[in-house]
């Protein structure tokens, strides 16, 4: 492979897959009915932590299974990068839920499970005879989790309960888009799919907590996370600003309403982030910019002074950063003032931190001549380390193993 295509060699230095599950949830079984992003990300987190996650797919597969990208030599197309990224460490079964025999097979499987996770619209699982009450009557210690756009009626009936939702809807309604955007007020969604990923993360915390309760008491329960609800909690700043002073937060580019400097600044060849709102950090930044006069300047002496004179501070810092490359700015400030380059994917792959901390992991991919590289678990533990030990499943790969003939 050519060095001009570094992504094709990244598996050579990325962390290798583990031989088996070693995380703290090892021994727990989770039946996963989720699809798309929020739910599969939630169950991926649990699988990385060692849980035996059994992914249930219809005959046509998860809606994300066949989404691009594919590696250049993959002619099998068993799954693409979207599916691979959030379905590793899972075993997979394929069942047609319209068939009563298949539904009964699932009920039997769930009888010995610790948790069920689904992200259908409210009422779907009930119509299939797989709702919480039916399953809990058979398995009282079962934790049943639902991730829906606007929550489940069991915990509060939203006027939007029948609305389907996706990431961009959750970002819009939950507040992310209202505070993200350009300085002239154009609203923008966040780049990462936080309207899916954050609700999935919150749900994982809820599921682990409920499973702990079930382990100690024998009592299962229903866990409900609304995507809208979770994103509102993510946007905590706009809530308290409005509650305290009636301030409606608007897009402000890359700056911060309460901290300064706290921004992304242009350099001679790119951008870098600089944060120096504390007295010590501001004094050090001013000195390193060769502007010690600003340490006690009444316009910039305190953080509140700098917030009140934000345009002046930005001009001063930008005038300095523009005279240097990103690498030069980082070299001057690193270890003294909080600073970091704006990394794209290529820069992340090249960063020595990523290699030192095993931030990326090489995962086997059917149909590809090389492993693909995915984000590793960011959770580090000394006794029960999470990790990636199993590639994503082929459609129905574990039917006979889990369901029998």
φ and ψ at residue 225, rounded to 5 degrees: -125, 120
Dihedral sign for Cα 113, 119, 125, 126, please: positive
Tell me whether the omega of the peptide bond preceding residue 261 falls within 30 degrees of 0, making it cis: yes
- The residue with tokens 């693909």 is 372
Q: Which of 48, 196, 224, 229 is catalytic?
A: 196
For residue 347, CA distances in Å to 85, 126, 358 come to 19, 47, 15
The angle formed by the CA atoms of residues 389, 51 and 394, to the nearest 5 degrees, is 55
Q: Is 196 a catalytic residue?
A: yes
Q: What is the CA radius of gyration of the chain?
A: 24
- The candidate with the shortest Cα–Cα distance to 357, out of 110, 20, 24, 15, is 15
336 token code pair: 């003294």
Query: What amino acid positions are annotated as catalytic residues?
Result: 196
């Amino acid at each position: 492979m050519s060095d001009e295509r570094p992504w094709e060699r990244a598996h050579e230095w990325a962390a290798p897959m583990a031989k088996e599950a070693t995380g703290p949830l090892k021994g727990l079984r989770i039946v996963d009915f989720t699809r798309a992003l929020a739910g599969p990300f939630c169950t991926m987190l649990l699988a990385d932590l060692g849980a035996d996650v059994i992914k249930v797919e219809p005959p046509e597969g998860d809606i994300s299974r066949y989404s691009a990208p594919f590696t250049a030599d993959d002619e099998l197309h068993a799954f693409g990068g979207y599916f691979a990224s959030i379905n590793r460490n899972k075993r997979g079964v394929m069942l047609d839920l319209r068939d009563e025999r298949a539904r009964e097979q699932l009920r039997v499987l769930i009888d010995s499970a610790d948790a069920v996770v689904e992200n259908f619209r409210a009422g779907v699982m009930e119509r299939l005879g797989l709702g919480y009450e039916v399953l809990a009557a058979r398995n009282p210690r079962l934790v049943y989790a639902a991730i829906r756009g606007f929550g489940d009626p069991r915990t509060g009936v939203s006027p939007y309960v029948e609305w389907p939702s996706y990431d961009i809807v959750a970002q819009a309604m939950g507040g992310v888009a209202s505070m993200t955007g350009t300085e002239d007020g154009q609203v923008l969604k966040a780049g990462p799919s936080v309207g899916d990923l954050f609700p999935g993360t919150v749900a994982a915390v809820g599921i682990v907590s409920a499973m702990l309760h079930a382990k100690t008491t024998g009592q299962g329960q229903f866990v409900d996370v609304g995507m809208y609800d979770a994103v509102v909690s993510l946007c905590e700043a706009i809530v308290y600003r409005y509650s305290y002073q009636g301030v409606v937060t608007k897009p402000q580019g890359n700056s911060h309403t309460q901290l300064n400097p706290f921004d992304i600044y242009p350099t001679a060849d790119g951008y870098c982030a600089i944060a120096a709102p504390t007295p010590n950090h501001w004094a050090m930044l001013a000195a390193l910019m060769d502007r010690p006069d600003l340490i006690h300047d009444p316009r910039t002496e305190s953080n509140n002074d700098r917030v009140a004179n934000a345009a002046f501070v930005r001009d001063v810092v930008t005038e300095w950063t523009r005279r240097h490359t990103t690498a030069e700015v980082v070299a001057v400030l690193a270890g003294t003032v909080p600073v970091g380059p704006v990394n794209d994917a290529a820069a992340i792959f090249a960063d020595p931190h990523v290699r030192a901390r095993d931030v990326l992991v090489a995962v086997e991919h059917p149909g590809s001549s090389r492993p693909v590289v995915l984000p590793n678990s960011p959770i580090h533990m000394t006794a029960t380390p999470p990790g990636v030990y199993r590639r994503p499943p082929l459609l129905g790969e574990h039917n006979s193993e889990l369901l029998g003939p």
